[in-house]
Structure 1
């Protein structure tokens, strides 16, 4: 059951126990601090933990993975230094299954498909280019998509990643002529009003690294007319 906290944090906690905390990231939040100097989501979560449990001193929080700033959805943090390497290992071994939803304007070439590309990141413009063959400094990228709903002007795709490359979903979908709604960097023609892109980390499934219980969580979609039409 999702829980929306007070406006003090504007934080939606989807799961919390002694070891991990999973939140539903809003568009515009950065997961970790960067050169912008904007307050990262990790700091907000630390403040929430410190306040909720009345903890003295510094609060430990380990960042396990990231979502791009304009993307929404599930983000996992480690609450202890003991569990962080275990979560990292689950990601590396692909034992954490993540499912994304993406809204695109153009219909994909196939109802469902596996995309295999080699992605090369350009740090100057923070953009990845998808190639059909390996090039220097490129990394292999694999994702699976399927078309799950046709809306009036958009198509809803479900995406599952085999690899976790820089801007992978954005670059690979753009490469087949399906840039994500609002994603100017990867070829969409106009931005979303809130500067988001219509990519949402919707579902996560894994075995808890300490409790050994199955954790299966859905992140509520952003509350706007287009996402609401997907339900």
Structure 2
């Protein structure tokens, strides 16, 4: 896996006000601390806030949701303890619309479709398996995809999630024979040099929980030959 790429000086801040901050996550960053002990993106954002606003002591930052470490794109953080439960409620009620872009090896059987599976996580290998029928300890997973571009050797899919399960997009696309470029864990035949996978949290829209204004943010794509062909 790529080393942590973000620091307080190179963060891609896409939106910020007194309540929330939205970051374009780089591949290799972990959103929140884990057993690796690597510095998480949440700590980097805290350092950025402390320096920008000259805040002494501990800076509050609430983690609202996560992206897998090799994935890139939009991550929302809460800057106050007041707004965190409101953002959590938006996610729980599905009042936040999230769109992802994925570059896959094979063309799906259908140009556009809804995938409904039951995902079961195996904590031993940190992997989720998709089943067409409910199995013990599985959770229902729903996503909608559309093929939006044919690349030289790949296909670009736009994906809208209805549920937010562990490795959902990766597992469900693998299950239909469309592994994401670079995703060794879910069926792609080789890794990307930087440890990334070609899955990007591209767009998010919601009503601001305090200002009650519509927020729509699109995350710029990472820079490489494949992503450049998508823009």
Deviation per CA, 1:92-121, whole angstroms, max 9, x where unpaired?
000000000000010001000000000000
Deviation per CA, 1:164-204, whole angstroms, max 9, x where unpaired?
00000000000000000000000000000100000000000
1:93-112 matches, cutoff 5 A: 93-112=93-112
Counterpart in the other structure of 1:142: 142
1:194-205 matches, cutoff 5 A: 194-205=194-205
Counterpart in the other structure of 1:151: 151
Shift of residue 8 of structure 1? 5.0
Counterpart in the other structure of 1:33: 33
- Unaligned residue ranges in structure 1 (runs of 5+): 1-5
CA contact (8 A) 1:12 1:23 kept: yes
C-alpha distance in structure 2 between counterparts of 1:8 and 1:118, whole Å? 39
C-alpha distance in structure 1 between counterparts of 2:190 and 2:165, whole Å? 25
Deviation per CA, 1:1-28, whole angstroms, max 9, x where unpaired?
xxxxx97532100000000000000000
CA contact (8 A) 1:100 1:199 kept: yes
TM-score, with structure 1 as normaliser: 0.97
Counterpart in the other structure of 1:72: 72
CA contact (8 A) 2:8 2:45 kept: no
Counterpart in the other structure of 2:3: none
Counterpart in the other structure of 2:123: 123
Counterpart in the other structure of 2:189: 189
C-alpha distance in structure 1 between counterparts of 2:173 and 2:9, whole Å? 34
Q: Does 2:173 correspond to 1:173?
A: yes
Cα RMSD for the two superposed structures? 0.9
Deviation per CA, 1:102-150, whole angstroms, max 9, x where unpaired?
0001000100000000000000000000000000000000000000000
- Unaligned residue ranges in structure 2 (runs of 5+): 1-5
Counterpart in the other structure of 1:213: 213
C-alpha distance in structure 2 between counterparts of 1:9 and 1:145, whole Å? 35
TM-score, with structure 2 as normaliser: 0.97
